[in-house]
Structure 1
Amino acid sequence: MGNTVKVADIFRGVLMISNLDPNLDSNKRNLNNKLTFLMKQVVLRNKSEFKPGRDIKIPMCDASIVRNLLVESISGKGIVYDWFNGNVDVMQAENSILLYWQLKEPIMRALMTGETDEVTMDSWLATIQAAIRFNLADKTVQLKRKLEDFRVNSLALDSTVRVGDIYSTFEDGSRQYEMKGTERGNLLSAECLGSIVCDLYTQEDYFKALNQIIDKMSQDAVEKAKSNIETYALAKDLSEAERASKLISTADESMASEYFIWFQKLAEYLHSHPQVAKEIEESTKTTGLEKFFRIY
Structure 2
Amino acid sequence: MPQYASRIISSFFSLALLLVLVFFLSRLTGDPAALFLPVDATPEMLNQFRELHGLNDPIIVQFGRYVWDVLHLDFGDSLRQARPAIDIVLQAFVWTLWLAITTIVLVSIAAIVIGSLAAFRPGGIFDRLVSLVSLIGASAPDFWIAVVGITVFAIGLGWLPTSGTGTVWHWILPIAVLFIRPFGLLLQVVRGSMVQAFGSAYVKTARAKGVGNRSIIFVHTLRNAMLPVITVIGDQAAAMLNGAVVVETIFGFPGVGKLMIDSILTRDFNVILAAILVTALAIFIMNLLIDLAYALLDPRIRT
Asked whether the two chains share a fold, i.e. TM above 0.5, the reply is no
**Rg larger in structure:** 1
- Superposition TM-score, scaled by structure 1 size: 0.28
Higher-helix-fraction structure:
2
Report 1 or 2 for greater relative contact order, CA contacts < 8 Å, sequence distance ≥ 6. 2
Larger strand fraction of residues: 1
TM-score, scaled to structure 2: 0.28
